[in-house]
Chains A and B, each alone.
Chain A
Amino acid sequence: MAYKIAVASSDGVNIDVKFGAIDSFLVYEIDDDEINFLEKRLIALDEENVTKTSANVNSKSDCNSSCNTNSCGGGAKGCGGPSGVTSRVELIGDCRSVVCAKVGFQAQKQFEKKAISVFDIECPIDFALKKISSYYKAIDGKQKWQANL
């Protein structure tokens, strides 16, 4: 059966974005051996929500833009805090797994609840999707597991 995998990439070639810094997901559909790019899902930035979760944001006018790209480096939370994580998780709730450069504990737990696997690895998208799809094929019982694909 076909399933989807969400990937975090800045250039469409490599997986190089941390979960907290993601502004869009690339969603691929895997059907047997076929891997097809399906769509790009943008994260709708809820302005109101950002100001609510952090009172400091408004006082620093330039923080908004930098915080959105800088993971959890800023006090305003690049990921938008717990609600930001939730909205991201929900955005790709129909995917079987998500691949990004790094992922925090908070997000990991939320994905676990939805039985979505998280792979935090930096490598080319092609490589990752081949590995993961082969793995799923094996655990779905469609082929023997090949360790050194």
Chain B
Amino acid sequence: MAKILDKQRYKCALGAMQTVQAIERALPILHSGPGCAQKLSDTNGSSGYFSPNIFPCTSINEKDVVFGGVKKLDSTIENALKVVDADLYVVLTGCIPEIVGDDTGEVVSRYADNDKPVVYAPTAGFKGNNYKGHEQVVNAIIDQYLEPSDKKQKGLVNIWADVPYQDLFWLGNIRELENLVREIGLTPNTIFGYKRGIDNINKIPEAEFNLLVSPWVGLSTVKKLEKKFGTPYLHLKTLPVGATETSKFLREVGKFAGVDEFTVERVIKEHEDYYYYLIERYADLFLENRVINKQFTVVADAQYTLGITKFLVNDLGLVPAKQFIVDDTPANQREAIAEEFKKLNYGIEAEVSFETDGFKIHDEIRNHDYHGYPLVLGGYYEKDVTEELKGNFLNISWPVQDKVVFDRAYAGYTGGIRLIEDIYTVAVQRFN
């Protein structure tokens, strides 16, 4: 029987149009009903040279359902190529054409000889959410555009992290990961954000290895790259937030890339010294246990729930209540991710639930004994329930309604400090 999902935390696969948008000068062409792009866009930094309001769209209607929308798609692509100047065109299909059975792949193949690449990703909503759609888009570019390269660039690392725009801090996070990798002497290559784009996409096959920093999103991508270009990959499930995980991150990347230990340790020491200098200055605040909550809950996608839980336990010494992963993680990945929640310092283990139903999550939060007021880091949906429990709330995952983020990051040493600032900014307000 059909179920109603309360407070869902993701969009349909077509939401991956935002993944395309995150690639500079790449344009999504939508084969979908009118209004899809409008509904899927958030006002979180999505205007600019291309924005969801101008994405070419076939705007298919009842007639195209009955007679097929292939002709309309062909003319939409043809005209988009004429009037919109982009480096890469990505045709995305919505639910309707996929149900009707339009052969989008065939239409797109007519543009194989076009001087700018046109690729196609099936992103019908019934095929999954925008985390899956993100993978589809990146995989489509690899499959349909990239060619194996004889040239391998020593020290070049492709970095893959979580989903642009869905993750509010995507830009800051990926830059921070780049910086960390650069500091230990490697050359990072990413495709999202300012001045990356098609040039960096072209460099993907030349990389020495792929670095995936995500619990599960992008795993199919790095596997695909290994198969197609023979590039090995390093999969680190935890987004490094704060000193403990970031140092671990640097050591693992350094070891995998064959960077000498001395260099890695030097970088770590430099960062940790400053990090703990900051922590030390605020130690009195941290030790004043009236300020912060005894237990916390994170309600976010796998990336943040895992990354932040580790940070709050390992770096801040808080006690985890139940944690929730709300991104509809594929069933075959869940066990490995849940395992990560058992690898916390001081022998602490966190219980984690893969749950997409907001109603059930809120019920559990209400019924849990937090030994005081809870600290809840989650989507905007958790604001009310946290206020009800007189707890402290920080909006860190989609949907985000109460903050504007340009390029801040929670990743890395600096990211950890930013997160502490944000949490304590909320916490100290209670006493002032």
B-binding residues in A (CB < 8 A): 117-121, 123, 128, 131-132, 135, 145, 147-148
- Per-residue CB contact flags for chain B residues 97-114 toward chain A (1 = under 8 Å, else 0) read 001110000000000000
Residues of A within 8 A of B67 (CB): 119, 121, 123, 128, 131
Most A C-beta atoms less than 10 A away, residue of B65, B66, B99 = B66
Residue pair B101, A147 in contact (C-beta under 8 Å): yes
- Per-residue CB contact flags for chain B residues 48-69 toward chain A (1 = under 8 Å, else 0) read 0000000000000011011110
Sampled A-B contacts (22; CB under 8 Å): A117-B62, A118-B63, A119-B62, A119-B63, A119-B66, A119-B67, A120-B63, A121-B63, A121-B67, A123-B67, A128-B67, A131-B66, A131-B67, A132-B66, A135-B65, A135-B66, A145-B99, A147-B68, A147-B99, A147-B100, A147-B101, A148-B101
Question: How many angstroms between the C-alpha atoms of A118 and B67 in the bound complex?
Answer: 12
Task: Bin the interface of chain B by size.
Answer: under 10
| Chain B: minimal CB distance from A85 (Å) | 19
Question: How many angstroms between the C-alpha atoms of A118 and B99 in the bound complex?
Answer: 21
Residues of B within 8 A of A120 (CB): 63
Chain B at the A interface: SS class = helix
| Chain A: minimal CB distance from B17 (Å) | 24
| Chain A: minimal CB distance from B422 (Å) | 49
| Chain A: minimal CB distance from B62 (Å) | 6
Question: How many angstroms between the C-alpha atoms of A121 and B69 in the bound complex?
Answer: 12
Residues of B within 8 A of A147 (CB): 68, 99-101
Residues of A within 8 A of B62 (CB): 117, 119
Taking A117-B62, A119-B66 as given, write out 14 further A-B residue pairs in contact, using a Cβ cutoff of 8 Å, ordered by the A residue number: A118-B63, A119-B62, A119-B63, A120-B63, A121-B67, A123-B67, A128-B67, A131-B66, A131-B67, A135-B65, A135-B66, A145-B99, A147-B100, A148-B101
Residues of A within 8 A of B68 (CB): 147
Residues of A within 8 A of B99 (CB): 145, 147
| Chain B: minimal CB distance from A3 (Å) | 15
Kindly report which residue of chain A lies nearest to residue B68, judged by CB atoms: A147
Residues of A within 8 A of B100 (CB): 147
| Chain B: minimal CB distance from A135 (Å) | 5
Question: How many angstroms between the C-alpha atoms of A120 and B62 in the bound complex?
Answer: 10
Chain B 31-78 interface residues, beta-carbon cutoff 8 Å to A: 62-63, 65-68
| Chain A: minimal CB distance from B69 (Å) | 11
Kindly report which residue of chain A lies nearest to residue B100, judged by CB atoms: A147
Q: Which 8 A-B pairs have the closest CB atoms?
A: A147-B101, A135-B66, A119-B63, A131-B66, A147-B100, A117-B62, A132-B66, A121-B67
Kindly report which residue of chain A lies nearest to residue B63, judged by CB atoms: A119
Question: How many angstroms between the C-alpha atoms of A106 and B68 in the bound complex?
Answer: 24
Residues of B within 8 A of A117 (CB): 62
Kindly report which residue of chain B lies nearest to residue A146, judged by CB atoms: B101
Residues of B within 8 A of A123 (CB): 67
Question: How many angstroms between the C-alpha atoms of A130 and B99 in the bound complex?
Answer: 19
Kindly report which residue of chain A lies nearest to residue B65, judged by CB atoms: A135
Residues of B within 8 A of A132 (CB): 66
Residues of B within 8 A of A128 (CB): 67
Question: How many angstroms between the C-alpha atoms of A132 and B65 in the bound complex?
Answer: 10
Residues of A within 8 A of B101 (CB): 147-148
Question: How many angstroms between the C-alpha atoms of A135 and B63 in the bound complex?
Answer: 10
Question: How many angstroms between the C-alpha atoms of A129 and B24 in the bound complex?
Answer: 46
| Chain B: minimal CB distance from A132 (Å) | 6
Question: How many angstroms between the C-alpha atoms of A135 and B99 in the bound complex?
Answer: 13
Residues of B within 8 A of A119 (CB): 62-63, 66-67
| Chain A: minimal CB distance from B373 (Å) | 53
| Chain A: minimal CB distance from B63 (Å) | 5
Kindly report which residue of chain B lies nearest to residue A117, judged by CB atoms: B62
| Chain A: minimal CB distance from B86 (Å) | 30
Most B C-beta atoms less than 10 A away, residue of A118, A119, A120, A123 = A119
Question: How many angstroms between the C-alpha atoms of A135 and B67 in the bound complex?
Answer: 9
| Chain B: minimal CB distance from A134 (Å) | 8
| Chain A: minimal CB distance from B5 (Å) | 25
Residues of B within 8 A of A121 (CB): 63, 67
| Chain A: minimal CB distance from B175 (Å) | 45
Question: How many angstroms between the C-alpha atoms of A119 and B63 in the bound complex?
Answer: 5
Question: How many angstroms between the C-alpha atoms of A118 and B63 in the bound complex?
Answer: 8
